[in-house]
Amino acid sequence: DAGVIQSPRHEVTEMGQEVTLRCKPISGHNSLFWYRQTMMRGLELLIYFNNNVPIDDSGMPEDRFSAKMPNASFSTLKIQPSEPRDSAVYFCASSQDSYEQYFGPGTRLTVT
Amino acid sequence: SQKIEQNSEALNIQEGKTATLTCNYTNYSPAYLQWYRQDPGRGPVFLLLIRENEKEKRKERLKVTFDTTLKQSLFHITASQPADSATYLCASPRGYSTLTFGKGTMLLVSP
């Protein structure tokens, strides 16, 4: 299996622009997680999907952030409009039956 | 809410020694704890899961303990190698099948 796939790997954008991050989970996994990692705050859960349905979005910072999972093999995390404080590494992870999580390589987002 | 605390200072040890990393949780005793390894520029990789009723778990050179009295898990790497250098993250379940992660401890193993 190719593992969790994320794109792009790096994104540099200007403040106010829309950013879309993409994730393809491991085939057969029914849970998908979006995380954000910074030096200050560590790894924070943004949103959790189970069987394509958002179950816990309590970590989504504000209305500028939205996430979708239209099918079992694809998810997006969108930031609109982006701000410099959104600069971080964003990880997607998937799991089956929710114990061990498999992380993607991450997207490093820089908002100038 | 549950907080996971790990030593923020890097741990420097000599090759061949045993590395011991600490994970403390603040509130209720979790049903299990997980340990992950993260290399620079990569996503975390799962290493071990230890349940509340398990005092100790081993996998090759890795050993994890769970002490509910001390609210602590210890992660040991025996006969450490430079390739073990990485950041190690501890995680606790937080409901809805999700995890709360500690900020991790960086381990540096010198030849």
Residue A53: list chain B partners with CB under 8 A. none
Residue A50: list chain B partners with CB under 8 A. 97
Task: Specify the pLDDT at position B107.
Answer: 98
Residue linked to tokens 């879309």: A20
State the smallest CA–CA distance between residue B42 and chain A in angstroms: 5
Q: Which residues pair with B4 in a beta bridge?
A: B25
- pLDDT (tens digit per residue) in A68-89: 999 999 999 999 999 999 999 9
Q: Say yes or no for a CB contact (<8 Å) between A4 and B43.
A: yes
Rounded CA gap, A53 and A70, in Å?
9
Give which of A10, A41, A43 to mutate to test B binding, by max B Cβ within 10 Å. A43
- Residue of B41, B49, B94 lying closest to A99 (CB–CB): B49
Mean pLDDT score of chain A, rounded to an integer?
A: 95
DSSP state of B31: S
Residuewise pLDDT in 10s, chain B (111 residues): 789 999 889 999 999 999 999 999 998 889 999 999 999 999 999 999 999 999 899 999 999 999 999 999 999 999 999 999 999 999 999 877 899 999 999 999 999
| Residue of chain A minimizing CA distance to B44 | A103
- pLDDT (tens digit per residue) in A8-39: 999 999 999 999 999 999 999 999 999 999 99
Rounded CA gap, B4 and B89, in Å?
10
Cα–Cα distances (Å) from B23 to A70, A100, B50, B60, in that order, read 37, 18, 13, 20
Q: Which residues pair with A10 in a beta bridge?
A: A108
The DSSP code sequence of A17-83 is: --EEEEEEPPTT--EEEEEEEETTTEEEEEEEEETTEEEE-TT--STTEEEEEEETTEEEEEESS--
Rounded CA gap, A38 and A85, in Å?
10
Cα–Cα distances (Å) from A53 to A32, A82, B35, B56, in that order, read 10, 25, 27, 36
Query: What single letter denotes the amino acid at residue A37?
Result: Q
Rounded CA gap, B12 and A29, in Å?
37
Q: Count CB neighbours of A81 within 10 A.
A: 14
- pLDDT (tens digit per residue) in A83-111: 999 999 999 999 997 689 999 999 999 99
Give which of B98, B103, B105 to mutate to test A binding, by max A Cβ within 10 Å. B98
Rounded CA gap, B81 and B103, in Å?
23
Residue linked to tokens 């009723």: B53
